[in-house]
Structure 1
């Protein structure tokens, strides 16, 4: 059974400073837990109700170094869900060897997207379109924040998320950089090829220091009165146009 000491320790991983110190993060709910058990992430502990643990295939349960039976109230104490009658996985944060940029295909870059829900949704969108690499500015939300992980619905296991000084990263790239800017050319009229898609925050857009690296500014033409689009929605629209036809 889950001890009070274990409960306190696992709960601390909700906070970034403890995730960084311990090198671990939480994955909650059946969907996320089963996705991570099927991935190459290292699962340090699997905490679950008796019914849930019994329902899991042995080859999945065996991926966890430790299995701990817990009550539903324990899961709610450790995690962030308001309702969870299945399980939580405690997962090792991968080393830097995982964060190697795959230069083939389309790459997505995010500049100061600091809302965890937006980042999680963007990771899920990237996974939908087969984007394997997501490069984030250092002030973008932490990918291992529970809100981000939960929002990805397991897609974090298939998209390599790395953090970098985007100015340095873009200056060293010879790829086209498609930047979402209000003064850009209509995305529907732009000749789109592989490159880097750069999305900025909703409040400020792409930062001034990164704009000189944008080789192909693009915009989503609006037809109504809304001032802007949610950054995750805008990312989906932009990416969709790369895969039309």
Structure 2
């Protein structure tokens, strides 16, 4: 049976486009069949599942799945709460999950560390890259764009359900883990060409802000400076690589060396 969304429901859901209301209500919005399905399968608690009759006909969600409010409505109602130019036939409001840090796991694996990455598309893509290359933890500075920004959520294409993203003070984090057997990697113009380096299977890989790069105080904590060379050497090229593209190249080389 079709339901018309109440004014309060519309107000709540649209307010979640802003970080202060996401923080206040501890909720975030996801749109699209794959993204919504992946988050549900990852057991992220659903506050609202809002869908059309057509979506319901071709998708089955078990009644045992914890969904606090199931609302069947129409495309016009969904358009009122969607952030997309072409709204999907399903939107879900999820509860922001708590994040547990497994120190032993971090000490024995690679993690990404993002120093004030600002663009939502970049963060979303980096999360996808991490998922692709089996990196389970991403640590973000407090000034990095919010994980639950709708544009970040969409850009992850569901990878957000597989990667743990934690906001913390980076200097304190790095000092907590830094030791002779746990390298701190970062990319710099004066670094060693990454393809000439013997890379370890554990450590932090620091990626900097789109315009400023890695901040000075974090630079001072880096133990292994890497450089992604242009090709051929000396040719006039773009000023720099996009941070998500650079992250892809770096993660690929780390994993390549494991084969």
User: With structure 2 as the length reference, what TM-score do the two structures score?
Assistant: 0.90
Cα pair 1:136 1:164 within 8 Å, conserved = yes
Q: How does 1:11-30 map to 2 (within 5 A)?
A: 11-30=14-33
The CA distance in 2 between the partners of 1:195 and 1:62, in whole Å, is 37
* Alignment-derived partner of residue 191 in structure 1: 198
2:229 to 198, 221, 242: 221
Aligned residues: 244
Alignment of 1:202-241 (within 5 A): 202-223=210-231, 224=235, 225-241=237-253
Alpha-carbon distance, 1:85 to partner: 3.7
Do 2:184 and 2:204's aligned partners in 1 also have CA atoms closer than 8 Å? yes
Moved more, 45-54 or 99-108: 99-108
**Residue ranges of structure 2 left out of the alignment (5+ in a row):** none
Aligned-residue offset at 1:58: 3.3
Runs of 4+ in 1 over 2 A off after TM superposition: 60-63, 98-102
CA-CA distance at 1:226 after TM superposition: 0.9
Give the CA RMSD over aligned residues.
1.5
Q: Give secondary structure in 2 for the equivalent of 1:89.
A: strand
Moved more, 151-160 or 3-12: 3-12
Distance 1:161 1:213 in 2: 21
Contact 1:46 1:90 in 2 (8 A): yes
> 2 CA distance for matches of 1:60 and 1:39?
16
How does the TM-score come out when normalised to structure 1? 0.95
Larger Rg: 1 or 2?
2
SS state at 1:213 partner: coil
**Which segment is superposed worse, 165-174 or 232-241?**
165-174
Q: Which runs of 5+ in 1 are unaligned?
A: none
Change (3 A) 1:3 1:118: same
Q: What's the CA shift for 1:5?
A: 2.0
Following superposition, the deviation at residue 75 of structure 1 comes to: 1.7
